[in-house]
Structure 1
Amino acid sequence: MKPLTTILAALTLSVITACSVHTNDDPLAPSPALAAQSNIPLEDLGRGHAIFMRQCTQCHEKRIPNEIPTDQWHVIVPGMAWNAGLSKEEEKLVTDYVIAASQVKTEQTR
C-alpha cells in the first residue's frame, strides 16, 4: 500500500509542477518572479493560469492580462466565472492570477 501512496504523491507533484512552471512556450505562464512580486504562491498562480487557459480562452483570445486595467479584473472575472461555471475557488484563483499578471506586466512595461 505504501508504494501506491508514493506513486500518487509523485504524480500529484508532477501535475502541480506542470501547471505552475513558466515555460518559453507560454508567455502568460506564471514565473517565480511573478509569485515573488505578487506575494501569491507560484502553485496558486499556476492553478489560476491553468483555469484561465482552459476556460477563458474558449471564448476569448489568449491575451496578456495587462491589456485590461488591473482594477477592472474584480468586476470582469465574477461574471465570466459564472458564465463558465467556475467554482468560487476557481474564480479566486483566476482573479489572483490575472491581477498579479496584470500588475507585474504593467510595472515591467513602464
Structure 2
Amino acid sequence: MKTLIIPAAATLLACIAACTQPKNDDPFAPSKAMAASTGTPLEDLGKGHAIFMRQCTQCHERWIPNEIPTKEWHKIVPGMAWNAGLSEEEERLVTEYVIAASKVKKEAASQN
C-alpha cells in the first residue's frame, strides 16, 4: 500500500507545481519595451497588470487593451474603476498598464 501512496503523492505534487508555474504566453505582460515606450516604471506596469488580471478580466477578455485605441483609455478606465471599486492608486496603475499594453502590436498578440 505504501508504494501506491508515494507515487500518487509525487504525481499530485508535480501537477500542482505545473499549474502554479507562471505562464509566459501573455503578449500583454509588462515588458521593458512597454516601460520604455511610455516612460512608466516596469514595477508600476506590473502592478497595473496584476490589478487588470484580477479585476478587469472578471468581465473583459485579457486582450482588450489591444482592441481599444490608446487615446480612449483615459475616458474608459475611470468608470470601470468605479464599477470595480478600485482605489485612485489602483485606477492610476491600471490606466498606465492598459495604455502601455494598447501599444502592443495586434499581430504579435494574436500569435499567442
Per the normalisation by structure 2, the TM-score is 0.69
Say if 2:86 is the partner of 1:86.
yes
Which residue of structure 2 aligns with residue 50 of structure 1?
50
Distance in structure 1 (CA, Å) of the matches to 2:50 and 2:37: 20
Asked if 1:68 corresponds to 2:68, the answer is yes
Q: Which amino acid aligns with 1:99?
A: I
AA aligned to 2:88 is: K
The alpha carbon displacement at 1:104 in A equals: 4.5
Query: Could you tell me how far apart the structure 1 residues matched to 2:64 and 2:31 are?
Result: 14
- Greater Rg over alpha carbons, structure: 2
Residue 36 of structure 1: how far off its partner (Å): 1.2
Cα distance between partner residues in 1 of 2:100 and 2:92 = 12
Structure 1 portions without partners, runs of 5+? 1-21
> What is the percent sequence identity of the aligned residues?
75
CA contact 1:69–1:102 (8 Å) conserved in 2? yes
* Cα-to-partner distance string for 1:21-75 (whole Å, 9 max, x where unaligned): x962322101111111111000000000000000000011111412101111111
> Higher mean Cα deviation, 44-53 or 23-32?
23-32
Alignment of 1:19-58 (within 5 A): 24-58=24-58
- Kindly indicate whether the alpha-carbon contact (under 8 Å) linking 1:23 and 1:29 is maintained by their aligned counterparts in 2: no
For 1:60 and 1:26, locate their aligned partners in 2 and report how far apart those are by CA, in whole Å.
Answer: 15
Question: CA contact under 8 A between 1:38 and 1:104: conserved in structure 2?
Answer: no
Residue in 2 that maps onto 1:11: none
Structure with greater helix share of residues: 1
Let me know the Cα RMSD of the aligned residues.
2.1
Q: How many residues align?
A: 87
Distance between the aligned counterparts of 1:97 and 1:37, measured in 2?
12
Cα gap change, 1:50/1:67 in structure 2, threshold over 3 Å: closer, same or farther? same
Give the unaligned 5+ runs of structure 2.
Answer: 1-21
Structure number with the bigger relative contact order (C-alpha 8 A, sep ≥ 6) is 2
Q: Which amino acid aligns with 1:75?
A: K
